[in-house]
Amino acid sequence: MLRLVLARTAAAIPTLFAIVTLAFFVMRLAPGGPFDSERGLDPEIMKNVQHAYGLDLPLYKQYGLYLWHLLHGDLGPSLHWRDFSVNDIFKVALPISMQIGAEALAFALLVGVPLGMAAAIRPHGIVLWLARIVTLCGIAVPAFIVAPLLQVGFGLNLRWLPVAGWDDGDWRHQILPVFTLALPQIAVILRLTQAAMRDTLSAPFIRTLRAFGLPSSHIYLHAFRGACLPVLSYLGPAAAGLLTGTVVVETIFSIPGLGRYFVDGALGRDYTIVMGTVVTVAVFIIVFNLLVDLAYGLVDPRVRHD
Amino acid sequence: MEEPAILSFDDLHVRYGAHEAVKGVSFDLARGQVVAIVGESGSGKSQTVLAAMRLLGPDALVEGKVLFEGKDLLRLPGKELNAIRGRRIAMIFQEPMSALDPFVPVGAQIAAVLRRHMDLSRAAAKTRAVELIDLVGIPEPTRRAHAYVHELSGGQRQRVAIAMAVSCNPEILIADEPTTALDVTVEARILDLITELKTRLGMAMIFISHDLGLVRRFADQIHVMRAGEIVESGPAHRILTAPEHEYTKMLLAAAPRAMNRAPQKDAPVLLEARDLSVHFSLRGGLFTTPKKVKAVGHVDVTLRQGQTLGLVGESGSGKSTLGRALLKLVPASGYISFEDRDLSPLNRAAMRPLRRKMQLVFQDPYGSLSPRMTIGDIVTEGLRVHEPHLSRADRDTRAAQALDEVRLDAVLRYRFPNELSGGQRQRVAIARAMILKPKLVVLDEPTSALDRSVQADILDLLAKLQSDHGLSYVFISHDLSVVRAMAEEIAVMKDGRVIEHGETADILTHAKDAYTQGLIAAATLKALQVA
Amino acid sequence: MTESAMIETLPGARPSTTRLSTIASLAILIAIGLACFLGPWLSPHAYDRVYRDYVLTGPSLVAHPSPEELDMSLSALTQRLHIESAYAIEGDTLHLTLKSPAPVDPRVARYFDHSDLFGTAKIIGHGAGDHSLHLDLPIRQIYFLFGTDANGRDLLTRTLIAGRISLAVGILASLVALFVGVAWGATAGYLGGSVDAIMMRVVEVVYALPFIFLVIVLVVVFGRNFVLIFVAIGAVEWLDMARIVRGQTLSIKRRDYVAAAEALGATTPAILWRHILPNAAGPIVAYLTVLVPRVILLESFVSFLGLGVQEPLTSWGILIADGARNIQASIHLLVFPAVFLGLTLAALNQLGENWRDRLGVGGA
């Protein structure tokens, strides 16, 4: 297990290096600079500002400096939010995004897995229809359609929940974003669980359990063990999907999370914010995938990391 | 003998839509009796017992009665049925790997059955499970109880399945081809175990097999099934000595006859290999050095024109790898010559013109034909390589001729492999090799995946082609009885080495090595001792 | 839980519903596809034509202008010119009388040239002392089945044009991913060894890149142009395809029919072309059915954030973003493109699912 962790960490270093390099140079190739919006800025002042952020240095020096700072865990100063470093911003924004993401994932699992199992065990009647409708909604109605509809329905018309904003994580503000974020994941998890459960239930070892007169509860429990493997391995992509989702959800619901800073940063050429997000997200995905692999080894005896 | 039946099948039917897999099967099983159901693939023998235990899928429509102590199993409420399954009627399946739960240690699987039926505490069930694992002859039972299925060998897996089956002292044991997936020497030991436990625990048994020779030793009663019907029933002795039905006669006659051909020492040497070794490297990462595993080590082979060399061994013995190494299809070290030409230095491109003289036929006729090509395209693929000037029409004509030579209807060349039976497919594979008029053909278990009746036809065809064209064969098989029928010389392989080598008759009568003797014993076990 | 419940979980139970849903999905896709590719030519409205008099009109099957719209338009005129008006409608013509204390300038008629409601005005006659003017105005009958957007453009035509872009991006990006992925995966899988190790290492590195973030960066950097969008999306979506094809190739490579071809002396390209690709086609197509909706969704998503193709061109994502902005006043702006997008996604998914069921390949 330790070896897997070490090997993955070693493998992550070139990956992260490639990501940082790619993001750095692609971003700098972009026409326009971070201070273009401030029209009429005196060329002299502009020069000073550029100098202050080291943007007048040759590109390779900027790159070297960035890497050097990054090695020390410093993501640099934000170019847009003056007086704030990217670290300062992320210190606030990252926990918000992670909170929404984790809640959405938990919600998706809590709904998707039991519903998928139920639909596999009893593939008829209300359960199956419910599963079908939920899947269809998750697939056919993307977050950016769901979110405005929810805002109008629950926020403006019914006035049950706030339309947008975060309010330091007041629970009422979390319901709509988390639901929006979870819906597409529910659909995938439901479908995966259903298919995996159906496959496992028709596996020969389940037939053996039946041939030995073991009760249904025992059989379903054992089938679930096999069926949860595909769901487990989906959690990696799910995390990536949730991160994508936060971009939309945070934009629509005006939540001061990572995704919103990223979009604003990309549009405003806030190099450091964009780079910081890309690096953070990449690290997050790598770590999460490692955790999933470790968990997989615990559940499936055929895959042991020793 | 004349005890009342404890299990009786009464006019059992199994239908899948319009197809009827089992057509009115009736027979009785008495206490302590062994009934064997014998038939080829698709005869409905497994369907019969699975239907009785209500283990078929929802698309199977089951009719008739299966009476166990007067109660119809097919109509019993689920709870009562579950009290019988595993407790009073237990089953063993063909594939122990997939029949056991991969996520649970084997000891716990046995314990779960014990706790369900025997009302044992958790600890008592655990102890009992270890005893059972010991009973079926697995060494270090306490440690093995914690093992997962994938950590056990094939034989041990089936032993675990047997332990589970006998755990609750059932009155009836149903064994559905329990040894088919195993090597012959393992098969013999598992059969010993089953028969011993059967006697010791006084169980009645239904034993399902495709092999009449196999059930000869322990069956009291034999039912021969074909196409969903029992075509002949009777005491084992009578069936084997005086079969009445044509099909039974055919099954008995289908055992390959030994030819006892003497090797021709003066024929020119076609293929010679010296000190041939094959190593496989297990894939390492980009920066780790790959581990080397020896598949074949320091083997010498000589094959003369028109002769057949039999390569015998169990799975993993390296016999298939050696066969491919002789054709330079896997990288090997050592010296190989073909028609007195040194092949060792030749690369892939340089080998290409020689390929038409050396061909290969595989075991699995389902896997060796590309499912997306027509039979005609498959048969003529070699012509595309070696006679690229041929027009489409020429190739079509040649395909028809080639199919004709393997006694297939030439119309089949417009079909796809999935429309053909196993035997037909194997003929296609042979035609693909023969169309190039090769001198050497490596036959890698060419009949192992086929039913007995088909097996004999294919062997006949191969023998005829050999004498017509003066072919040399390397005949690879795990089955001595088949090799004996085809080869003048035999090489016995184990763990990548040739442990014994000589003329067929010598090996069969004077085997020195214990392993070879085991193989011979296993083969005679299955052989039919009928005139 | 009963025995029968368990038995029914075995596969192979519902062939008729599968068939029906396949046909329905195909029908929906063909209908949407045809509508999007032919519709804009058949539509009387150009997708970028602005009707200033019809801003945010609701969807309706009735021709415009309605009496209220006529009335409103005319009262706006009279207010602006400080004159009084009276009108009567007769068929497609509106008889208008303008009155004013001061003489009415006949050039007033030109005002109507800019109106979307009327054709060219005809002066019938003057009243006494030019204090009134009689005009005949042909009423232009226009249909806006889906209504209009905030700029007064026909939403139906725009939805169809948007569909062209969304579907085209979906298909083209998937093709990019298909070619790159198949070539990469098949080569790595067939050659194996260190070539495979290096090629798959590259895939792993790219795999850890945060996709969406990269697409956004790429689009921001290189501008919002159609070709770039599908190339960018294709460039990040080929990885799964490469993995699937490699896996297939690895398993097919071990099949006996490939060994047989090698024994016959067939060359590597011939084996790849004749044996490996045809036999990997099923899973490739199966993955393609996952990929196309995913790409369409990704494009809509990028467009929604305002990074898609540029106005006046449009895509479903842009229209949906528009709709979300005007959701309170005119929900139809959201509903129509959302329904098109949703139907397309649902149909493609269903089709893919049925195909994978038939093939027996699992996965999402």
| Out of A207, A213, A222, closest to residue B86 by CB | A213
- Residue C272 DSSP class: I
Q: Collect all residues from C whose CB is shorter than 8 A from any CB in B.
A: 2-3, 7-8, 10-13, 194, 197-198, 201, 255-257, 259-267, 270, 274-275, 278-279, 281
Question: pLDDT (tens digit, 9 = 90+) per residue, B224-265?
Answer: 999 899 999 999 989 888 889 988 888 877 666 656 566 777
Residues B514-522, mean pLDDT to the nearest whole number: 83
The residue among B455, B511, B515 whose CA lies nearest residue B485 is B455
With a cut of 90, say whether residue B81 has pLDDT above it. Answer: yes
**Highest mean pLDDT pick, B81-90, C18-27, C218-227:** B81-90
Partners of residue B358 on adjacent β-strands: B440
Residue C180, helix vs strand vs coil: helix
Q: Find all residues with CB under 8 Å of A300, minimum gap 6, and list them.
A: A229, B102, B103
Q: Find all residues with CB under 8 Å of C243, minimum gap 6, and list them.
A: C185, C200, C203
**Where does residue C34 rank: exposed (0-12), middle (13-18), buried (19+ CB within 10 A)?**
exposed
pLDDT band for position C10 (cuts 50, 70, 90) = very low
Q: Find all residues with CB under 8 Å of A29, minimum gap 6, and list them.
A: C221, C222
Alpha carbon C219 to chain centroid, angstroms: 19
The residue among C218, C272, C26 whose CA lies nearest residue B370 is C272
Separate counts of helices (H) and strands (E) for chain A: 11, 0
CA distance A286 to C3: 44
Question: pLDDT (tens digit, 9 = 90+) per residue, B336-355?
Answer: 998 888 888 888 888 888 89
**To 10 degrees, the CA torsion angle through C220, C226, C230, C233?**
20
Structure tokens at C239: 């990885």
| Out of B102, B116, B148, closest to residue A213 by CB | B116
pLDDT reported for residue C2:
34
**Where does residue C159 rank: exposed (0-12), middle (13-18), buried (19+ CB within 10 A)?**
buried
Residues B109-129, mean pLDDT to the nearest whole number: 93
CA distance B417 to B379: 11
Residue type, B28: D
With a cut of 50, say whether residue A132 has pLDDT above it. Answer: yes
B256 or A71, higher pLDDT: A71
Instruction: Say whether B364 and C278 touch across the interface (CB within 8 A).
Output: no
* Terminal Cα-to-Cα distance of chain C (whole angstroms): 28
Rounded to a whole number, what is the distance in Å from the CA of B322 to chain A's nearest CA?
Answer: 30
Chain A residues with beta carbon closer than 8 angstroms to that of C323 = 148
pLDDT band for position A22 (cuts 50, 70, 90) = confident
Rounded to a whole number, what is the distance in Å from the CA of C6 to chain B's nearest CA?
Answer: 9
Say what percent of chain B tops pLDDT 90: 39
pLDDT reported for residue C231:
79
pLDDT band for position B530 (cuts 50, 70, 90) = very low
CA distance A150 to A156: 9
Q: Find all residues with CB under 8 Å of C183, minimum gap 6, and list them.
A: none
Residues C323-349, mean pLDDT to the nearest whole number: 88
Phi, psi of B247 (to 5 degrees): -65, -45
β-pairing, B229-235 vs B497-503, is: unpaired
Exposure string over C101-128, b if 16+ CB within 10 A, otherwise e = eeebeeebbeebeebbbbeebeeeeeee
Chain C residues with beta carbon closer than 8 angstroms to that of B85 = none
Q: Among all chains, which residue has been given the structure tokens 């501008």?
A: C223
Instruction: Say whether A215 and B116 touch across the interface (CB within 8 A).
Output: yes
Chain A residues with beta carbon closer than 8 angstroms to that of B148 = 301-302
pLDDT reported for residue A181:
92
Instruction: Say whether A301 and B83 touch across the interface (CB within 8 A).
Output: no
Average pLDDT over chain A, rounded to an integer? 84
CA distance C13 to C24: 19
Instruction: Say whether C216 and A219 touch across the interface (CB within 8 A).
Output: no
**Highest mean pLDDT pick, B48-57, B210-219, C80-89:** B48-57
Single pTM value for the model: 0.80
Q: Collect all residues from B whose CB is shorter than 8 A from any CB in C.
A: 54, 57-59, 78, 81, 283, 285-286, 324, 327, 329, 351-353, 355-356, 358-360, 362-364, 367-373, 378, 381-382, 384-386, 429, 432, 436
Question: pLDDT (tens digit, 9 = 90+) per residue, B360-409?
Answer: 998 888 788 988 889 999 999 999 989 889 899 999 999 999 999 998 99
A94, A136, A139, A219: best to mutate for the C interface, most C CBs within 10 A: A139
CA distance B87 to C186: 52
Q: Find all residues with CB under 8 Å of C322, minimum gap 6, and list them.
A: C149, C150, C333
Residue type, B222: I
Instruction: Say whether B58 and C13 touch across the interface (CB within 8 A).
Output: yes
pLDDT reported for residue C3:
35
Q: How many CB atoms within 10 Å of residue A165?
A: 13
Tell me: ipTM over 0.90. no
Q: Find all residues with CB under 8 Å of A125, minimum gap 6, and list them.
A: none
Instruction: Say whether B59 and C274 touch across the interface (CB within 8 A).
Output: no
List C-alpha distances in Å: B133 to B87, B98, B160, B186: 18, 19, 7, 17
CA distance A280 to A257: 13
List C-alpha distances in Å: B330 to A84, A228, B295, B496, C102: 64, 40, 11, 14, 106
Question: pLDDT (tens digit, 9 = 90+) per residue, B281-330?
Answer: 665 444 455 567 788 888 898 899 889 999 998 887 888 889 989 998 88
Residues B88-94, mean pLDDT to the nearest whole number: 92
CA distance A240 to A245: 9
Average pLDDT over chain C, rounded to an integer? 81
List C-alpha distances in Å: B163 to A252, B96, B134: 62, 12, 9
Instruction: Say whether B368 and C274 touch across the interface (CB within 8 A).
Output: no
Interface size, chain B vs chain C, as Cβ–Cβ contacts under 8 Å: 87
**Where does residue A139 rank: exposed (0-12), middle (13-18), buried (19+ CB within 10 A)?**
buried
Question: pLDDT (tens digit, 9 = 90+) per residue, A182-221?
Answer: 999 999 899 889 888 988 888 889 999 999 999 988 999 9
β-pairing, C132-138 vs C122-126, is: antiparallel
**In this structure, are residues B52 and B12 in contact, taking their beta carbons and an 8 Å threshold?**
yes
Structure tokens at A116: 């998928």
CA distance C52 to C148: 10
Residue type, A11: A
Torsion sign over Cα B206, B211, B217, B222: positive
pLDDT reported for residue C253:
85
Q: Widest CA span of chain C, in angstroms?
A: 107
The residue among B171, B168, B170, B217 whose CA lies nearest residue B192 is B217
B370, B374, B439, B474: best to mutate for the C interface, most C CBs within 10 A: B370
**In this structure, are residues B73 and B81 in contact, taking their beta carbons and an 8 Å threshold?**
yes
The residue among C262, C353, B146 whose CA lies nearest residue A191 is C353
With a cut of 80, say whether residue C56 has pLDDT above it. Answer: no
CA distance A242 to B36: 59
Rounded to a whole number, what is the distance in Å from the CA of C348 to chain A's nearest CA?
Answer: 10
Residue B152, helix vs strand vs coil: coil
Rounded to a whole number, what is the distance in Å from the CA of A52 to chain C's nearest CA?
Answer: 24
Q: How many CB atoms within 10 Å of residue A6?
A: 10
Rounded to a whole number, what is the distance in Å from the CA of B136 to chain A's nearest CA?
Answer: 18
Question: pLDDT (tens digit, 9 = 90+) per residue, B147-176?
Answer: 998 888 888 999 999 999 999 999 999 999
pLDDT band for position C12 (cuts 50, 70, 90) = very low
pLDDT reported for residue A40:
60
Instruction: Say whether C3 and B432 touch across the interface (CB within 8 A).
Output: no
Residues C234-257, mean pLDDT to the nearest whole number: 86
B479 or B465, higher pLDDT: B465
